[in-house]
Amino acid sequence: MEHKSLRRTVYDRTMRILIRVCAALTCLLLAFLIGYIFVNGIPNITWQLLSTEPSFRSDTIGILPNLVNTLVLILGTLLIVLPLGAGAAIYLTEYAQNRRVVAAIEFAAETLSGIPSILFGLVGMLFFTELLGWGGSIRAGIMTMVIMVLPTIIRTTQESLKSVPQSYREASLGLGSGKWHMIRTAVLPSSVDGIVTGYILAIGRILGESAALLFTAGSASILSSNLLQTINSSGGTLSVALYMYVSERGELEVGFAIAAILMFLALLLNLTAKVAGKKLKR
């Protein structure tokens, strides 16, 4: 008996130490990565970098166009994906009758959300820039991003809707609500936190996307005079600019600066997702 209990103690201790080592290594790695990027990046973030266009004549680099492009691309994508994704998810969970069709669509959405993004880039390039003749433009980038994040958005929204207890729906209908009124007043308020979190994570994906956008929105770093022109012309986002500056021009400092900015934005998004999730949950 004693022998056995000793063995168990040794076993327990060893496992505990091993697990701690794993946790410590992971944290260390993450801390190192974040620290490395911030240490190398933050000193290179200058006002000039943030507020100007790049110029060969004066030999300066500025990422203002890329910041604008990123913003326009994200907002444009959301503008389309928001109603489309929410609508599709509401239809699938609340209205659709044919279980088999719903299951097929859900399966397709799940598969699509796991596909490497460059495939979306390829399709976007062939369809929007070539076939529709839009050329490399933010417009083509927006549409490609819409297709890329839509499956994920539909999935996360559906999950949030499904988590609403059936009893809320019954209570609402039992009081004489119409179906849409029931969805708007009893289902959506109880699931809005999960839905918003899904959208914020989708923004994160767009922020980090490079390959698919390189194919469709291009990599230009020029400020346009108005929004319409911005959407219709080629433009690189921050992630694309990071790739371009480092690989094409060897500007490592600029690369690190952009990396730090991206990291900061990602942090901000995740925090927003957390806070929004809590705030919206009454």
Partner 1 sequence: MQAGTIISAQDLDLYYGENQALKKITMDIPERQVTALIGPSGCGKSTFLKTLNRMNDLVPNVRIEGTITYRGQDIYMPKLDVTWLRRHVGMVFQKPNPFPMSIYDNIAYGPRTHGIRNKRQLDEIVERSLRGAAIWDEVSDRLKKPALSLSGGQQQRICIARALAVEPDVLLMDEATSALDPISTSKIEDLIAELKKQYTIVIVTHNMQQAVRISDRCAFFLLGQLVEFGETTQLFSTPKDKRTEEYITGRFG
Would you say 108 and 263 are in contact if contact means Cβ atoms under 8 Å apart?
A: no
Cβ distance to partner 1 smaller for residue 111 or 167: 167
Would you say 69 and 230 are in contact if contact means Cβ atoms under 8 Å apart?
A: yes
> Minimum Å distance from CB 174 to partner 1?
4
Cβ distance to partner 1 smaller for residue 81 or 186: 186
Q: How far apart are the first and last CA of the chain?
A: 54
> Minimum Å distance from CB 183 to partner 1?
13
| C-alpha span between 60 and 251 (Å, rounded) | 11
Phi/psi of residue 178, nearest 5 degrees: -75, 170
> Minimum Å distance from CB 159 to partner 1?
18
Q: From the centroid of its chain, how far is CA 251?
A: 26
> Minimum Å distance from CB 162 to partner 1?
16
> Minimum Å distance from CB 281 to partner 1?
9
| C-alpha span between 256 and 152 (Å, rounded) | 30
Cβ distance to partner 1 smaller for residue 137 or 197: 197
Residues in contact with partner 1 by the rule CB under 8 A: 97, 165, 167-178, 181, 185-186, 189-190, 282
Cβ distance to partner 1 smaller for residue 185 or 229: 185
Cβ distance to partner 1 smaller for residue 177 or 270: 177
The CA distances from residue 55 to 63, 143, 220, in Å, are 11, 30, 12
Would you say 142 and 76 are in contact if contact means Cβ atoms under 8 Å apart?
A: yes
